Amino acid sequence: MIDDTTRDELISAACAARQFAYAPYSKYPVGAAVLGEDGRIYMGCNVENASYGLSNCAERTAVFNMVSAGVQRLLAVVVSTANAGSPCGACRQVLTEFAGDVPVWLVDGEGNGRQTTLYALLPDHFGPEHLPDSD
């Protein structure tokens, strides 16, 4: 369970991260914040490239930031867009790699939006638990 204070800090972090987005092609800045199992908040923004396939979404940037700090489990996610948009399929899959059915808040630039869960965004998900143990 994520308390209101932590939720509000995550929302503020995601909205702040959105301000750093590099989105000259889509004109759709996105910010994200994930709560690592260590209690720290990791931020990310989308970073586009003229070769569109090389762009990176905010949610994946936040996860990669967390993993780069040595943390491999996340407890909550916030995504901030102009219209409280939802993560793309690739981001949903990457989030699933590092989380269970965690809360996800989709908010606009003022922090207004809705709460859902990761598994609601990615029903019938495929994750590490579906692979056989490798000994």
Distances (CA, A) of 38 to 17, 24, 72, 75, 131: 20, 34, 9, 9, 26
Asked whether 80 and 32 are in contact (CB, 8 A), the reply is: yes
**φ, ψ for residue 34 (rounded to 5)?**
-125, 145
- CA–CA separation, 33 and 44 (whole Å): 6
Across the strands, what pairs with 41? 35
Give first-to-last CA distance, the chain, whole Å. Answer: 34
| Cα 8 → chain centroid | 15
Catalytic member of 9, 37, 59, 97? 59
* 59 given a catalytic annotation: yes
Residues belonging to the active site: 59
